[in-house]
């Protein structure tokens, strides 16, 4: 049920990314913040590789972006010294002059000898150079990296950086990196200050450091540590609830999309369409086919295949739905239980047909590039774009269907037939045609839902089976024949599900929810939003 | 004598005894014939026949609740599986110490590194207790579920999808290892029932014989119910529930009674099924499985009892043939069956026979 969550970028990958960013501008000539001392040092180093040790000191003190590049390259073994120039090998294998960033065509030169002394100095110099860089993102990255794995050797660099840092976000990151180090300090005030910093912005990872302090001797420190632990816990809790809400909304939109078509047809005709899940599947496979066509014939516009998939999925699912209605369902009106069985048979046939055409295995549907990735709210909370898009998409579909029902002639007829079939027929509405049209519309909406599902999880012949019980539950919970019911049912189920999951586990949470629904309809057999009217019991 | 007269016409009784003789006498005797004989019933057919009898039992239970009372359950697989699990638990316990790990605990618990038996496994080492549970657990669940559902007058498709949700929830639950029923794999590798080795051909024949006997007995019981006064009320509930209420009957008790009985019968079928098939796992709880049960009844013809038995046998016979010959087309056949029967054969095979006979009679008169 839960589509795999894209793994969130960790700090280390973030740092790696920053390193890559660092190397990108290498090809351009150096312009900003040129430090003449660097030119001199690099020139001296090119003359005599033995000056490396003293060159490191200069490089570590400089704010010139070239300095940190040289240090990183040295650390990663990409630095060579040729007669007349210090060279850096870029990721694509080119060599450039470290002094001016121009491509180098001469001899490759030799890697400098790395003595233990050089290595030791290098480790702290890199941090220092990055913390002093002109580039804000790099400073923030360096501070956060230290934050992740605090080391006493970086302390002087951190303090120096903190003393002159202006940017508030970097200041926070620096303070956070220093705080765990200060916790070890004998100075009580420093300890308390560090605890205050952690209480404000600390992450779960420092909890292990705080626990011993919370049971220490000094009552003041004990209280402060306790406060920090509570504050960190509370913050995490709030963040978890935020994440639950977001993922609940996202799941709710999926359920809403999946159940919307069902609610329309169920409300109108009083029949349960067990093949509804397969209409979702058809929508997802239509997306797959469109994707393959784009890949083969329009690779340039591949990113926009999803937009083309929407009408294709809508029309193909609507066509199948229309055919089902014409061939089978219309002969079964007034016999809801038989309809249920017949549509189940149809779903088996559709599943097997898809299996024969596309194979029993799941097929791969790629996210277009504008749907991969996400908004990083905090270091741990990422809102993936595909989930945000699902929420917006569900909203758009909902508004469209609502407008269709409320503002068009077709919608008027559909509502009339839903409320009182006999009376509508007496008023001259061709109820048979309305039935067929509405069924096709419901099926088309299911096809659109299939497009959304293809972006979130696996696409396989059994896709529909996974959603059908949930869709029914949405309809049962929300009540029949009202869009508001589908919205309340879908969102309610989605959000409650996500809030139950962390404490009960996915399966037990779902079981609890099903049990709840069974009890709920004791209380309100018509669902949350019942149709008002004098429906006669059969 | 009057009660028996009421059950069947003389012709009906003759037919019943012919079928009974076929099931109870002919099959075991033909099985005992030497293998060279053209009439010999091969050994592998015996458990298959036993399995079909279990399915027919389920179909009878379905017919009582759907065919006669008009309540379509899409969750009867639950009761069948619960009965099966109760029997499977006895079979597991009866071979304590003989599993792969030579432990007192069932193998899967050793595999999960459990140290002691969960509380709900206690007592299942006694056969009478297990048998009681095989009937009582489905009965109790059905009673509670039915009480809530019928009391708030949930009916029609609403009731059907709620039962489907129930079987889906239980399937999820039983798939978990932590639930304590063997997770995915379920319970299997049984050895002995009451000291008899299950792989022994004679034991298999005996199990089949017992199942067939139970089937015949349950058929008579069901027949007695539907021919009784209470049975008339059930049919009346199916056809016009409000009018039944206006006549001063309370449908709740009738529905609840038949619903619970139907569940108990399914539990019995499950308990008979497991020793013959040798495995019980959560796939029996899949919603599709329960819907298939409804189709057996629909194919045979609802509200006839005989039709349920015929439907269960013919659909499952078809399934056996298809899975052997053309497995990829079985779903087409089954799906097509669902559609064709509901569209063209609303009264099932028995309805078809009846119509044919009527046409012939009309022709003869003409």
Do the domain assignments include residue A306?
Answer: yes
Q: What range does the domain containing A444 cover?
A: 238-523
Residues with Cβ within 8 Å of residue A501, at least 6 apart in sequence = A244, A509
- Residue A265: give its domain's CATH number: 1.10.3470
Strands A382-384 and B192-193 turn out to be unpaired
One domain, residues A248 and A370: yes
SS3 B240: coil
Question: Which residues of chain B lie closer than 8 angstroms to A332, CB-CB?
Answer: 342-343
Q: How far apart (Å, rounded) are the C-alpha atoms in residues A538 and A445?
A: 29
Please give the angle made by the CA atoms of A270, A441 and A436, to the nearest 5 degrees: 60
Q: Which residues pair with A363 in a beta bridge?
A: A459
One domain, residues A130 and A242: no
Contact B161, A259 (CB under 8 A): no
pLDDT at A151: 65
Question: Which residues of chain B lie closer than 8 angstroms to A507, CB-CB?
Answer: 172-173, 175-176
Question: Which residues of chain B lie closer than 8 angstroms to A347, CB-CB?
Answer: 335
- pLDDT tens-digit readout, A436-491: 888 899 999 999 999 999 988 889 888 888 788 888 888 888 876 678 888 888 88
Do the domain assignments include residue A418?
Answer: yes
Q: Cβ–Cβ of B164/A351 closer than 8 Å?
A: no
Q: Long-range contacts made by residues B30-35, C-beta under 8 angstroms, separation at least 24? A: B31/B205
Q: Cβ–Cβ of A348/B334 closer than 8 Å?
A: yes
Cβ-Cβ pairs closer than 8 A, A with B, add up to 124
One domain, residues A358 and A495: yes
Q: Cβ–Cβ of A272/B160 closer than 8 Å?
A: yes
Domain boundary among A134, A156, A188: A134
Q: Which region holds residue B113: left if phi is over 0, alpha if psi is between -120 and 50, else beta?
A: left
SS3 A155: helix
Question: Which residues of chain A lie closer than 8 angstroms to B152, CB-CB?
Answer: 521-523, 525
One domain, residues A250 and A125: no
Q: How far apart are the first and last CA of chain B?
A: 38
Closest chain B C-alpha to A506 CA, distance in angstroms: 10
Do the domain assignments include residue A534?
Answer: no
Do the domain assignments include residue A202?
Answer: no
Domain boundary among A134, A163, A189: A134
One domain, residues A129 and A243: no
Question: Per-residue confidence of chain B (366 residues) as pLDDT tens digits?
Answer: 456 667 778 888 888 888 888 888 888 888 888 777 777 878 888 888 999 999 999 999 999 999 999 999 999 999 999 999 999 999 988 887 777 777 778 888 887 888 888 888 888 888 999 999 999 999 999 999 999 888 877 777 888 888 888 898 899 889 888 888 888 888 888 888 887 888 888 888 899 999 999 999 999 999 999 989 999 999 999 998 889 989 999 999 999 999 999 999 999 999 999 999 989 989 999 988 999 999 999 999 888 899 999 999 999 999 999 988 888 888 898 999 889 888 888 888 888 888 888 888 888 887
Do the domain assignments include residue A5?
Answer: no
Q: How far apart (Å, rounded) are the C-alpha atoms in residues A37 and B248?
A: 105
Q: What ipTM did this prediction achieve?
A: 0.85
Do the domain assignments include residue A178?
Answer: no
Do the domain assignments include residue A198?
Answer: no
Burial (CB count within 10 angstroms: exposed 0-12, middle 13-18, buried 19+), residue B320: middle
Closest chain A C-alpha to B174 CA, distance in angstroms: 10
Q: How far apart (Å, rounded) are the C-alpha atoms in residues A148 and A157?
A: 16
Quickly tell me which residue has 């609507």 as its tokens. A318
Among B161, B168, B341, whose Cβ lies nearest the Cβ of A272?
A: B161
Q: How far apart (Å, rounded) are the C-alpha atoms in residues B285 and B293?
A: 12
Contact A435, A414 (CB under 8 A): no
Domain boundary among A110, A134, A158: A134
One domain, residues A123 and A253: no
Domains identified in chain A, total number: 2
Do the domain assignments include residue A201?
Answer: no
A265, A345, A354: best to mutate for the B interface, most B CBs within 10 A: A345
Quickly tell me which residue has 């006493």 as its tokens. A152
Question: Which residues of chain A lie closer than 8 angstroms to B65, CB-CB?
Answer: none
B342, B343, B346, B347: best to mutate for the A interface, most A CBs within 10 A: B342
One domain, residues A129 and A245: no
Among A341, A515, A538, whose Cβ lies nearest the Cβ of B295?
A: A341
């Amino acid at each position: 049920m839960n589509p795999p969550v894209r793994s969130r970028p960790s700090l280390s990958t973030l740092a790696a990314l920053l390193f890559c960013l660092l190397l990108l501008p290498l090809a351009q000539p150096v312009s900003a913040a040129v430090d003449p001392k660097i030119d001199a040092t690099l020139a001296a180093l090119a003359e005599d590789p033995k000056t490396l040790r003293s060159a490191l000191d200069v490089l570590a003190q400089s704010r010139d972006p070239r300095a940190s590049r040289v240090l990183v390259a040295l650390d990663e073994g990409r630095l060579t010294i040729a007669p007349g120039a210090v060279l850096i090998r870029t990721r694509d294998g080119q060599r450039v002059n470290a002094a001016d960033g121009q491509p180098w065509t001469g001899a490759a030169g030799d890697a400098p000898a790395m003595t233990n002394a050089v290595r030791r100095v290098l480790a702290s110099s890199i941090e220092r150079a990055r913390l002093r860089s002109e580039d804000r993102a790099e400073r923030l990255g360096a501070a956060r990296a230290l934050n992740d794995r605090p080391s006493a050797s970086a302390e002087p660099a951190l303090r120096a950086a903190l003393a002159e840092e202006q940017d508030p976000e970097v200041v926070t990151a620096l303070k956070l990196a220093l705080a765990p180090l200060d916790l070890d300090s004998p100075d009580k005030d420093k300890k308390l200050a560090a605890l205050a910093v952690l209480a404000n912005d600390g992450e779960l990872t420092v909890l292990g450091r705080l626990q011993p302090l919370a049971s220490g001797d000094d009552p003041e420190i004990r209280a402060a540590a306790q406060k920090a632990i509570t504050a960190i816990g509370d913050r995490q809790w709030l963040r978890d609830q935020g994440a639950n809400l977001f993922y609940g909304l996202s799941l709710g939109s999926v359920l809403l999309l999946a159940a919307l078509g069902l609610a329309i047809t169920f409300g109108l005709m009083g029949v349960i369409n067990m093949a509804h899940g397969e209409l979702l599947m058809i929508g997802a496979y239509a997306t797959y086919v469109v994707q393959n066509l784009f890949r083969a014939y329009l690779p340039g516009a591949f990113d926009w295949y999803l937009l083309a998939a929407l009408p294709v999925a809508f029309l193909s699912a609507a066509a199948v739905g229309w055919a089902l209605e014409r061939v089978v369902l219309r002969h079964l009106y007034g016999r809801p239980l038989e309809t249920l069985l017949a549509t189940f048979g149809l779903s088996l046939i559709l599943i097997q047909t898809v299996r024969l055409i596309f194979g029993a295995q799941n097929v791969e549907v790629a996210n277009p590039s504008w749907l991969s990735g996400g908004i990083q709210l905090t270091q741990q909370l990422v809102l993936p774009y595909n989930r945000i898009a699902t929420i917006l998409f569900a909203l758009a579909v909902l508004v469209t269907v609502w407008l269709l029902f409320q503002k068009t002639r077709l919608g008027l007829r559909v509502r009339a037939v839903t409320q009182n079939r006999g009376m509508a027929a007496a008023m001259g509405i061709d109820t048979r045609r309305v039935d067929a049209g509405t069924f096709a519309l419901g099926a088309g909406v299911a096809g659109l839902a299939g497009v959304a599902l293809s972006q979130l999880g696996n696409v396989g012949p059994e896709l529909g089976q996974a959603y059908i019980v949930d869709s029914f539950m949405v309809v049962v919970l929300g009540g029949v024949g009202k869009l508001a019911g589908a919205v309340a049912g879908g969102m309610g189920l989605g959000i409650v599900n996500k809030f139950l999951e962390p404490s009960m586990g996915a399966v037990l949470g779902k079981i609890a929810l099903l049990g709840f629904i069974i009890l709920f309809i004791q209380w309100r057999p018509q669902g949350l939003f019942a149709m008002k009217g004098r429906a006669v019991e059969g | 004598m009057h009660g028996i007269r009421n059950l069947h016409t003389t012709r009906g009784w003759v037919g019943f005894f012919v079928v009974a003789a076929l099931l109870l006498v002919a099959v075991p005797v033909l099985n005992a014939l030497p293998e060279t004989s053209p009439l010999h019933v091969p050994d592998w057919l015996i458990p298959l026949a036993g399995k079909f009898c279990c399915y027919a039992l389920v179909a009878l239970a379905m017919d009582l609740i759907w065919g006669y009372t008009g309540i379509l359950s899409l969750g009867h697989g639950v009761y069948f599986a619960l009965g099966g699990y109760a029997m499977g638990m006895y079979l597991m316990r009866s071979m304590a110490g003989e599993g792969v790990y030579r432990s007192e605990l069932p193998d899967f618990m050793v595999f999960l590194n459990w140290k002691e038996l969960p509380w709900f496994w206690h007592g299942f080492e006694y056969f009478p207790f297990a048998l009681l549970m095989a009937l009582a657990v489905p009965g109790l669940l059905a009673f509670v579920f039915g009480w809530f559902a019928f009391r708030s007058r949930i009916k029609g498709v609403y009731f059907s999808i709620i039962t489907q949700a129930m079987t889906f929830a239980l399937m999820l639950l039983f798939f978990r290892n932590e639930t304590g029923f063997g997770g995915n794999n379920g319970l299997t590798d049984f050895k002995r029932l009451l000291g008899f080795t299950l792989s022994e051909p004679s034991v298999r024949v005996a199990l089949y014989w017992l199942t067939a006997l139970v089937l015949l007995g349950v058929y008579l019981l069901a027949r007695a119910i539907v021919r009784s006064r209470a049975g008339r009320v059930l049919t009346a509930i199916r056809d016009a529930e409000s009018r039944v209420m206006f006549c001063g009957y309370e449908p709740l008790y009738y529905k609840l009674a038949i619903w619970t009985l139907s569940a108990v019968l399914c539990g019995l079928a499950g308990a008979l099924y497991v020793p013959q098939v040798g495995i019980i796992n959560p796939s029996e709880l899949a919603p599709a499985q329960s819907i298939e049960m409804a189709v057996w009844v629909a194919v045979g013809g609802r509200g006839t009892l005989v039709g349920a038995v015929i439907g269960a046998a013919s659909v499952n016979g078809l399934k056996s043939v298809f899975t052997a010959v053309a497995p990829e087309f079985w779903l087409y056949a089954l799906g097509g069956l669902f559609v064709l029967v509901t569209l063209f054969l609303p009264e099932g095979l028995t309805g078809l026979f009846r119509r044919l006979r009527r046409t012939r009679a009309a022709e003869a008169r003409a």
